[in-house]
Structures are given as structure tokens and as C-alpha cells.
A and B are shown apart, each in its own frame.
Chain A
């Protein structure tokens, strides 16, 4: 049982590391957002599920339920923030390095 928790934690560590490297390396703001989604989904979810299983092995049910609730809360709220910040970046005039196609700029040229 406890090895399952270790496996989840290692998965979380790997994806959080990949997301951090992506945020530091990516060329423009939009691609950095994509990499930060990597941290917010499997990077946190893996480690939180690891902690959930770990606290179940310690027979601490209320703590396990709270950890599960925190995971669900992050999963529900993160896309709302991502959507809002992406639209705000476009409207406040952050330029992308290179875009192969830009349908939004073609349909709303004055924003």
C-alpha cells in the first residue's frame, strides 16, 4: 500500500519538475501558461494522491478526506483561472513570439 503512495509521489515530482522547466524555458507567455497547467494537474494531483494514501495507511480518515477535497478544489478552480488569465493576456496586448495561425486576431482585429 505504501509503495503505491511512493509511486504517486514520484509521478507528481516528475511532472512538477517538467512544468517548472517549461515555465522557465518557454519563449512567450502563452506557452508558459501551457506548462503551468502541467504543474497544476498531475504535478499537484500526484503528490496529493500520494499524501491521501499515506494518511489512509496511518488510519487518519478525516485528514485523508480533507486532502481529497483540496485536490478536487484545485481541479475545479484551476481551469477558470487559466481561461481568465489567457484572455487577459490577449486583451492587454501581450505579443506571442510566433503564431502559425491566429483566428482570434482575424475575427476581432481591434482588441
Chain B
């Protein structure tokens, strides 16, 4: 518990300090010292809202490499979904078939679920509406612009694709 607290404060401090340097972009000693003091205060006050589990979880090289690979996998999915929705919007007949489907999710950790939900929302054509838990299993409610499958498992495979397996390698 002690190490979790220290690591979360430390990583929040690094995060705030990077942002400070990026915003000011002057490297005099006064600016740097003021930035360090302010980011330390912000880190101590807000670390418990920002990071809940061990913050050094991601510094494992295998997980970090998977995270970098995930960005490229996600960009490919983003391109495919964007082209699909752009085609639907520019088609004179407007071929849409919207609906809200309930999809099971096999991830356990908070960060994994929020990462999957944000990835699904960021691809055009699907928006995550809500997350519920029933009998120890998590479900997403997803608004889908073209309901191809009404069955839960098949709809889940069509929406999530390979993203869920990639996220399981990063966050469990």
C-alpha cells in the first residue's frame, strides 16, 4: 500500500512536470524550480484521484512494447471504421440500421475496461453507453450504427475484434 502511494505520487509528479515544460518551453532555472514545486503540490493533492493501482505496472518492457503495438493496431481499426461511416454518410440512400446491443467483456481490471470502452467509443460507428456488472461478469451497452448481429457473443466479436486480446496483454 505504501509503495502504491509513493509510485502514484511520483508518476503524477512526472506527468505534471512534463506538461509544465511543454507549456512554458523556457529553460531558465526560475521557471524549472517553480514548475517542480507546483507539480509536486498538485501531485500530493490529486494522486489518489488519478492513479489507483501500482503505477509501475506499465514499465515492464513486454507490456510497454505491447502498448506501442496496440497503437498501430488501433489506428488500423480506426481507419477501417472511419471509411465505413464516411461511406454511409455520403451515400444518397443513407444505409443505417441503428440499435443498442449488450456485449459481454472478459476483462477484469478497471484500466483495461476503461481503455476498451474508450477505444470502442473512439472508433466511429460504435459508442459505449453504460457498463454494468451481473453475476461477476461485466457487460457494455453499445449503440451501433449498423446492427449486423443481434446475438451477444457474435456482436461482441464483430465490435471488439482483436482489440480485447491486445488489451488483455497490457492490463489483464
Contact = CB atoms under 8 A, between A and B. Distances in A.
B102 A41 contact: no
A90 B86 contact: no
Interface in A71-97: 75, 78-80, 82-83, 86-87, 90, 96
Contacts of A21: 89-90
Which DSSP category, helix, strand, loop or mixed, fits chain B's interface?
A: mixed
A38 B89 contact: yes
Contact of B101 (A27, A83, A101): A101
B129 A101 contact: no
Interface residues of B, number: 37
A87 B129 contact: yes
Interface in A15-32: 15, 18-19, 21-22, 25-28, 30-31
A41 B94 contact: no
Contacts of A33: 127, 143
Interface residues of A, number: 42
B35 interface: no
Contacts of A62: 25
B131 to A, nearest CB: 10
Q: Which of A19, A34, A38, A107 has the most CB of B within 10 A?
A: A34
A35 B89 contact: yes
A107 B130 CA distance: 12
Given A31-B98, A79-B121, 16 more contacts: A19-B89, A22-B88, A30-B98, A34-B125, A37-B127, A38-B86, A42-B79, A79-B122, A83-B118, A83-B127, A98-B98, A101-B147, A103-B102, A104-B102, A104-B129, A105-B100
Interface of A: 14-15, 18-19, 21-22, 25-28, 30-31, 33-35, 37-38, 41-42, 62, 65-66, 69, 75, 78-80, 82-83, 86-87, 90, 96, 98-105, 107
